[in-house]
Structure 1
Amino acid sequence: MTRHHPARRLLVATLFCALAGAPLAAAAQAAIAKPAGAPGACLTKLKGKQPMKVKLTTSMGAITVELDKEKAPVSAENFVKYVEAGHYNGTIFHRVIDGFMIQGGGFTKDMQQKPTLAPIKNEAANGLKNEMYTLAMARTGVRDSATAQFFINVKANDFLNYRDESPQGWGYAVFGKVVEGADVVDRIRKVATGNAGMHQNVPLEPVVIEKAECL
């Protein structure tokens, strides 16, 4: 594996360039909407013994992911908090690169970035790999900067895995995998994309996460 391959540097850059607004995350914590219904229901289930699954109903079909709450407890809890708060409802997959990944969870259809909770610890050293159909946290060039945005690998992206404690080796934390709807992921990765302002690889027809819910 060539660590400094230009194409790979470009691909890695796509994971965090849309997160340039991450420094405002801490100040925006109060802006997260409160979840409907019984508060804490999803988090309570997360701490139980049963597998934790989240269904993402998109404009192109449903994707169900199972979270690895044992190996990635911080990332799993963070994701569930956003689900429970309704944060992902109405967001889009704003960056789609076939042969790499589909990224979402941070922008509305008009490319407005949503406020987030504080950044979390990077759990990339948990032993989980960026294999095909795995779910991972997007981040900036800062190690512990992931907030709400996530991506689904559409191939095995070994160069995104944790290697060492250097800035080049921190990696991207995997915290789950697609267990239903891989065909939907495949349809999304094939959509036509273009530019939207400063953003590249944006689907020309918005791929909307209509609802995210705990199962």
Structure 2
Amino acid sequence: MKGAPVVAPPPTPEGFATTPTARPGIRPFPEAASVNVGIETSLGPITIALETERAPVTAGNFLRYVEEGRLDGTNFYRAVRMPGGPQPGGLLQGGTRGDPARVRPGIAHEPTSQTGLSHTHGALSMAMNEPGTATGDFFIMIENQAGFNADPAAADPAWRAGFAVFGYVVEGMNVVAAIHAAKRDPDAGEGVMKGEMLSQPVKIISARRLSAPSPLPAPSPQSP
């Protein structure tokens, strides 16, 4: 008689703490992000810095969802794994998932060609069907994914516009990586999303604006 199959335990943030994927997001302009938000998930915390100066419409929209509690109780539900390039690479998507009780009207599109931001490792970007439809769903890039940036030479209008980056993960990429590595349901999802839905979505318990860090003290004058 054969023994029961060995089932691998679900990934944990601790298991990703020292991997390259756990490094903080790559922020082209680290001094420009003026608002931090803490996302508490059932697997641990994620801290993001919002680019409120370079992407004011998109970052402001996300902050409004945070301050009105519209993200509390939602989930990370989709893990896209992209072949090629550094692995694991892809994106993790979460948010309101079109819930009519949570979503606000779509916002004007801020392409990366306008903001100067980029879909680098740890970047947050708005999910949308077409420019002007972004509401309360967002995704986090795992490894650099420049193909999501605006491309004026693209034949498809959607790719000419690209997606709108509005912030970067500054702490908790090990949590992002653990969620991204969780089991997916091969039969869930429709169209291009089939097979990309997590078997057990990871809850976003709360999303809160964080207090600004205290300024560093001025250096003491050196003795002659």
TM-score normalised to structure 2 length: 0.68
| 1:153 has 2:134 as partner | no
Correspondence for 2:108:
121
Contact 1:93/1:209, CA 8 A, preserved across alignment: yes
- Letter matched to residue 213 of structure 1: R
Give the CA deviation at 1:128.
Answer: 0.5
Correspondence for 2:43:
60
* 1:117-152 deviations in Å (ceiling 9; x for gaps): 111111123110001111111100x21111110000
The equivalences for 1:99-138 within 5 A come to 99-107=89-97, 114-124=101-111, 125=113, 126-138=115-127
Correspondence for 1:69:
52
- Letter matched to residue 55 of structure 2: A
Partner SS for 2:150: coil
Classify 1:113/1:183 alpha carbon distance in 2 versus 1 (closer, same or farther; 3 Å). Answer: farther
Partner SS for 2:121: coil
Partners of 2:110 and 2:169 lie apart in 1 by 19
Structure 1, unmatched stretches of 5+, are 1-48
- Letter matched to residue 181 of structure 1: G
Contact 2:125/2:167, CA 8 A, preserved across alignment: yes
Structure 2, unmatched stretches of 5+, are 1-31, 82-88, 211-224
Contact 2:150/2:159, CA 8 A, preserved across alignment: no
Correspondence for 1:163:
151
Partners of 2:168 and 2:33 lie apart in 1 by 16
Partner SS for 1:103: strand
- Letter matched to residue 131 of structure 1: T
Contact 2:33/2:53, CA 8 A, preserved across alignment: no
Partner SS for 1:210: strand
User: What is the percent sequence identity of the aligned residues?
Assistant: 36
Correspondence for 1:17:
none
Give the CA deviation at 1:68.
Answer: 0.5
Classify 1:50/1:175 alpha carbon distance in 2 versus 1 (closer, same or farther; 3 Å). Answer: closer
Partners of 2:136 and 2:175 lie apart in 1 by 21
| 1:211 has 2:206 as partner | yes
Correspondence for 1:27:
none
Partners of 1:97 and 1:150 lie apart in 2 by 13
Partner SS for 1:80: helix
Classify 1:121/1:112 alpha carbon distance in 2 versus 1 (closer, same or farther; 3 Å). Answer: closer
Partners of 1:210 and 1:71 lie apart in 2 by 28
Correspondence for 1:83:
66
Give the CA deviation at 1:167.
Answer: 3.3
Which structure would you say has the larger Rg?
Answer: 2
Contact 1:106/1:114, CA 8 A, preserved across alignment: no
RMSD, matched Cα: 2.0
Classify 1:114/1:149 alpha carbon distance in 2 versus 1 (closer, same or farther; 3 Å). Answer: farther
| 1:92 has 2:75 as partner | yes
